[in-house]
């Protein structure tokens, strides 16, 4: 294992744009194979006295909230419940993404009429997030493609804490 880094899971899209040209040696900003990434999520404290943690991804409301939902950027390491272990890092052109990779990115395979592909849905999502920043689908930027395995529970959480 190389080390541990934080990762803010803002969207299901876990590919980051490379800036600059290809041909130089780059270190992946999301780690190397064997690194562990702790995921930050939107969260809250709830309950009186001994506070508990709520996670917006799985808890519709934050019952008896001590505070309102907090953005993922403010999540401390101790509150993280998801750990990812990097299993592969590669660099590729954005448009080289496969249908399988698009599904792994979180794109649902729900086109009942066979008119659209998962890759096309990924393209639309990519443009919605990145086109205004100059990294649209048509620019076909170089991207980091990071594969990982989900490790549950994280070392700081017991089985009870992650069961909900």
pLDDT of residue 6: 56
Q: How far is the CA of 108 from the CAs of 1, 79, 96, 119, in angstroms? A: 32, 29, 19, 10
From first to last of its 164 residues, what are the pLDDT tens digits of the chain?
Answer: 456 655 544 333 333 322 333 333 345 777 889 999 888 999 888 876 667 888 888 887 776 667 788 999 999 998 888 888 999 999 999 999 998 888 888 888 776 666 668 898 899 999 999 999 999 999 999 998 888 888 876 544 544 444 43
pLDDT of residue 15: 31
pLDDT of residue 27: 59
pLDDT of residue 127: 96
pLDDT of residue 97: 93
Within 2-155, residue ranges assigned H as helices are 99-104, 118-130
pLDDT of residue 73: 93
Helix (H, G, I), strand (E, B) or coil at 67: coil
Closest CA to 37 of 140, 147, 127, 163: 147
pLDDT of residue 160: 45
pLDDT of residue 130: 94
Helix (H, G, I), strand (E, B) or coil at 46: strand
Strand partners, 5: 37
Q: 23: which DSSP letter?
A: S
pLDDT of residue 153: 64
């Amino acid at each position: 294992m190389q080390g541990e880094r934080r990762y803010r899971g803002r969207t299901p899209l876990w590919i980051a744009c490379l800036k600059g040209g290809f041909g130089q040696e780059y270190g992946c900003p999301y780690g190397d194979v064997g690194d562990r990434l702790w995921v930050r999520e939107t969260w809250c404290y709830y309950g009186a006295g001994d506070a508990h943690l709520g996670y917006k991804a799985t808890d519709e409301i934050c019952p008896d909230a001590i505070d309102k939902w907090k953005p993922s950027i403010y999540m401390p390491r101790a509150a993280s419940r998801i750990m990812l272990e990097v299993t592969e890092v590669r660099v590729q052109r954005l448009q080289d993404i496969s249908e399988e990779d698009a599904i792994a990115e979180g794109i649902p395979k729900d086109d009942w009429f066979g008119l659209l592909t998962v890759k096309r849905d990924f393209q639309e999502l990519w443009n919605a997030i990145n086109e205004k920043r100059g990294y649209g689908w048509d620019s076909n930027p170089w991207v980091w493609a990071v594969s990982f395995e989900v490790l549950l529970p994280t070392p700081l959480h017991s089985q009870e804490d992650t069961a909900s």
